[in-house]
Amino acid sequence: MTTDQARSAALLGGRHADLVSWTDDERPALLGHYGAGALPTWMTLFYSQVAAPDRIAYLWERPPLPEAFASRVDDDPGEDGGVLGRTFPHRLPRGPARARYQAWQTLPDSDRALVELASYTARRLDLGRDDVTDFLLVSFSSVDAIGHEFGPDSLERAASLAALDRHVGELVTSLVEQSSGRLLVALTADHGMAPTITQARRDGHASDGVDTRVLATTVEDALTRELGPGPHVAALLYPYLFLRPMAADVHARAVALAVETLRRQHAVYGAWPTAQLEQATDPVAKLFWNGAYPSRSGDVALALEPYFSPVQTGGNTLGANHGSPWPYDRHVPILLWGDGVEHAVIETPVTVEALVRTLALHLDVPPGPNDAAPLP
């Protein structure tokens, strides 16, 4: 079972989940499926109650924080803040219910509703009650949303992590009781985040926002000069450039030209034909190859220089973004806790795939040919 945005639910639930659910983007409602049918009514009803206008927090106040975080600046010029504004207390916007609900979905209080839903669903489905292992996957989104608006070094991000810590604690407490202590908890993240441009410059890095539409136009112009009138570029959906359908020989020239043009741009670290990623020697190209699906991933893969990020919608260079191959984006926590896990801190780099193998070991699942080694 999973709960959150549709795209997280699809990824976490895979093809064989018994129940998959995610929240609607515009109103306090739950979508998804259970077995071959619709979500149970008790579940949709429960969510519409815990996310109802009379249950949500309209105000997000500055919480008490550990010393290391409490000194962070609240009003930083690199912050966006959007409809929430840049300083505590943050207030949900007045006006249309839809805008208010969407703003609420970015706040830690929306994770509170998710925890209530997950705990209730676990009880209703009798998870952890018999000798068959049950999987419950929950995706929390507020830390990401707050990171986009205020940056990963902001007071708001520290406050959102403190709230997440509390919410995960509440969920674990309820699941320990539910399973009579037979519980294994794994916590990780799907990505990190770049600092805001302001913060990166303060730290002494060259940093800027990059409008990917401008990059696409630059490539289009270069292709038009060499190949004749276009359009040749279908889209630049970072980190991939997609070309329009064209004859195979023209396509090969267009890819080579696009790569060459992109590599000349000062904010671009590298560009590679997606079809040749497997042979590329650059370590960043190798990372792309791990995630590429050549028939769908676009024709050219590109990486921006460290601390250069695609700008937010509408050319807004405030706030922060993710999606790069650099350590601030790829270094995430992995925590394992519960039944049979001894206390240890692992200082050597491990991959998230190692976590998958570790969980499989707990279930006596034999390793597959492409499986990573488990956590040390």
Token reading at 277: 């990623």
> How many CA within 13 A on the CB side of residue 301?
26
Most distant pair of Cα atoms in the chain: their distance: 70
Minimum gap (Å) between residue 191 Cβ and Zn ion: 7
Nearer to Zn ion, 273 or 319 (CB): 319
From the number of C-beta atoms within 10 Å of its C-beta (0-12, 13-18, 19+), residue 173 rates as exposed
Catalogue the long-range contacts made by 166-173 (C-beta closer than 8 Å, 24 or more residues apart): 167/108, 167/111, 167/112, 167/114, 167/115, 167/140, 168/115, 168/140, 170/115, 170/119, 171/115, 171/118, 171/119, 171/138, 172/337
CB-nearer residue toward Zn ion: 149 or 299: 149
Identity of residue 111: D
Nearer to Zn ion, 173 or 188 (CB): 188
Q: How far is the CB of 366 from Zn ion (least distance, A)?
A: 35
Question: Which residues here bind Zn ion, judged by CB under 5 A?
Answer: 144
The count of other CB atoms within 10 Å of the CB of residue 14 is 10
Residue 158 or 219: which CB sits closer to Zn ion?
158
CB of 160 to Zn ion, least distance (A): 13
Residue nearest to Zn ion (CB): 144
Q: How far is the CB of 322 from Zn ion (least distance, A)?
A: 6
Nearer to Zn ion, 282 or 329 (CB): 329
DSSP three-state, residue 144: helix
Length of the chain in terms of residues written: 376
Q: Which is nearer to Zn ion, 144 or 153 (CB)?
A: 144
What is the smallest separation between the CB atom of 260 and Zn ion, expressed in angstroms?
A: 31
Report in angstroms how near the CB of residue 78 gets to Zn ion at its nearest: 17
3-state SS, residue 273: strand
